[in-house]
Structure 1
Amino acid sequence: MRHQVPDLLDMAKRRGASSSQLLSGTRLFEADCHKPQYRIDAAAWLKLVANCQQLPSPELPFLTASALLQNPYLALCQLVNSARDLRQALAQLLYFRQQLAPYLYVQLQSGAYSTRIELRPGIGLGAQQRFIAEIWLSLLLQLIRHQLGSTAGTVIYLRELATKTAAAEHTFWQTEVRYQQACDGIEIANSLWRQPFSGCDVAAFQNARRICRQQQRLLPKRPGVLEFAGRVLRRALPQLLSPEQLAAAMALTPSALKRLLAQHHTSYSQLLDEVRNQLAVSLLTQHELSNKQLAERLGYSDEHNFRRAFKRWTGLIPSLFKV
């Protein structure tokens, strides 16, 4: 992962930070960060973000997103800016996401009137997750505003409470923001997906996609630990894999899996609970299922246990959530 680093460093330095302050503890050298094929690992990226979070500049993730979207040297941003519409732009952004945000993965929840893009951590992001999500959400909103002229029909969802960055979020996003949600994400009215982009350019799109494909070959293909483990657990449902079975599927010993999940700020039980939560919301959003059917699909022994778990996840019983 390299693309965000130069723009983040430049934005932070414009807000008064020094290179030594920003790169402290990352083992990075600024000159290397600007090399075209240079990649930094997750630990260095998270330390850099943590250093940026210490600055008295709550607007930093929003300005970084703007710089990324306008950077003429980033093929992926050229690609989404020259797309036909939001549907095509998002498809490319998700396909090539390793080039811009390898530590997040996306799940789509489609409804009758809107589609929610949920940002999930592929690795344990800890306290840096809010900052990283703000960059991605800002990039999506600015793309919509730039190409369609308005962010009407969008809603931002954030996992955490409103913090000192709330004022900056409302100022830069200019749309409704809801806090204490199940995950970070953005909801977009279905009417916006097919509206033509003002910057549509077929030749530029094809050229940028060719470059992105070349760059994609240089990146690792394996998903993040949490994304991979979550996929394994979700595919197995309604069967509940034991920690030993999950470890075997990931070619790990049970003790190694336990240590690895702890390094990513989670545990087997927390991960399984999150997977069931995600699937329950997806099923309720897209299908008409009874509580009994949902409980069976998620591997619960009875409806009561499912309803109790769902209320813990969302604060609502399933019937009210569907309304």
Structure 2
Amino acid sequence: MVWHAVNQPRLLVNPLLHSLLPLAQRRGVLPPQLVRKTSLAKQTLPASNLRVSPQDWWQLLQNAQQALPNSELWQLLSEDLIQQSYSPLLTAVTSAPTWGQALHWLKRYQSLLLPLEFALTERHGDFLKLTLLPRLGERLGALAAPQLLAVGVLINLARAHQVAVSEWHLSWPLAAEVALPSAWHKWLGSIHTGPLLTLHLPWQQLSQAKPGGADEQPALAQALSFCQLQHQHARYQSLLEQVLRWLLVRISQQQTVSIELLAQHCNLSVSSLKRALAHHGSHYQSCVDSVRQLRLLQLLQQHPYNNTELAQLLGYANPNNFRRACKRWLGVCPDHIRANLQPLFS
């Protein structure tokens, strides 16, 4: 299943700043350094009702990664976010009766929490496989700050549920030149390299009940009510999900794709569709490229197709054009991906 994060991340922007600003200041980094190149630079900090676009959110985390290059940043930040109960969504997920329900709410309200463009979930044997992808148009093999925060949030939420993260397996992008927090090396069952950022969680953990969860029901009900209210105001969510799903189906079935056909499918003019995509800092070609990347990895996991076959399956008339696109997407050629896409579990 593919889902898309399209709403302004209102349920985490202010909580993030509550945690990030003092953490940065203790290390000599002042707020102007963190909010440069964002609209936050023109707003009063701290504030209770900041207006932040998805692009601002992404830039804020990138600024933090550059200003605070310590690998422990994402563990400290995600741990503080959860412990301080700054976010109603994190409160709801932390208070969920089971770990499976917690993941369900993260999925349902992801657009209000994590600045990921889309993520892929599937059952992989006895594991739930979570693939965390960068935003549309970014190189798939790259690793951005939002993904690091996402992993930290997932790990620390699981620990709050007393879920054994020692049974988890993390696949780290081959092209990533980022050090992981030392705690993750200590806690996680194993860490491998691969083409994408992927977590494998034991399927049986989904039904695990949280100890003492009954005492948290009042806080849970209030937090969920707020999340549902915010979720109703998400803009363009159904449209952008529709765009990605349509592209994935058409490309998987080797059917023609074009912005004109897509606009017709969405009952919009081409110009209106372009404006909707631009609202989220994206455009048609970046959507196509991102879906082709996903489809490429799906195909390679199914069968060792050669480059000519892959080019045809992905709609490229020339295998050389496909090979160059793959190098641009992932930083490596198809042969390298094929050699490293061995399943972690039999």
* Range class of TM-score, shorter chain: 0.7 to 0.9
Question: What is the CA–CA distance in structure 1 between the aligned matches of 2:342 and 2:151, rounded to whole Å?
Answer: 30
1:83-122 aligned at under 5 Å gives the runs: 83-122=96-135
Residue identity opposite 2:205 in structure 1: L
Q: Return closer, same or farther for 1:92/1:149 CA change in 2, 3 Å cut-off.
A: closer
Aligned to 2:292: 273
Please tell me whether the aligned partners of residues 49 and 128 of structure 1 are also in contact (alpha carbons under 8 angstroms): no
Please tell me whether the aligned partners of residues 158 and 184 of structure 1 are also in contact (alpha carbons under 8 angstroms): yes
Task: Quote how far apart the aligned CAs of 1:281 are.
Answer: 6.8
Q: Return closer, same or farther for 1:37/1:317 CA change in 2, 3 Å cut-off.
A: closer
Aligned sequence identity (%): 19
**CA offset digits 1:146-178 (Å, max 9, x no partner):** 222531210112224453423547457544222
Specify which structure has the bigger relative contact order, considering alpha-carbon pairs within 8 angstroms and separated by 6 or more residues: 2
Please tell me whether the aligned partners of residues 9 and 19 of structure 1 are also in contact (alpha carbons under 8 angstroms): yes
RMSD, aligned CA: 4.1
Please tell me whether the aligned partners of residues 92 and 224 of structure 2 are also in contact (alpha carbons under 8 angstroms): yes
Aligned to 1:187: 200
Task: Quote how far apart the aligned CAs of 1:32 are.
Answer: 4.5
Question: What is the CA–CA distance in structure 1 between the aligned matches of 2:207 and 2:72, rounded to whole Å?
Answer: 31
Residue identity opposite 2:98 in structure 1: D
Which range is displaced more, 188-197 or 262-271?
262-271
- Please report the TM-score for the alignment, with normalisation by the length of structure 2: 0.71
Task: Quote how far apart the aligned CAs of 1:267 are.
Answer: 4.7
Task: Quote how far apart the aligned CAs of 1:41 are.
Answer: 0.9
Question: What is the CA–CA distance in structure 1 between the aligned matches of 2:343 and 2:30, rounded to whole Å?
Answer: 51
**CA offset digits 1:68-124 (Å, max 9, x no partner):** 212323111111111111100000111111221143332211022111111123434
Question: What is the CA–CA distance in structure 2 between the aligned matches of 1:276 and 1:232, rounded to whole Å?
Answer: 13
Residue identity opposite 1:130 in structure 2: A
2:226 to 191, 200, 211: 211
Answering whether residue 84 of structure 2 is matched by residue 71 of structure 1, we say: yes
Please tell me whether the aligned partners of residues 147 and 199 of structure 1 are also in contact (alpha carbons under 8 angstroms): no
Q: Return closer, same or farther for 1:262/1:14 CA change in 2, 3 Å cut-off.
A: closer
Question: What is the CA–CA distance in structure 2 between the aligned matches of 1:166 and 1:26, rounded to whole Å?
Answer: 27
1:158 to 172, 180, 186: 172
How many residues in Structure 1 have an aligned counterpart in Structure 2?
305
Q: Return closer, same or farther for 1:265/1:184 CA change in 2, 3 Å cut-off.
A: farther
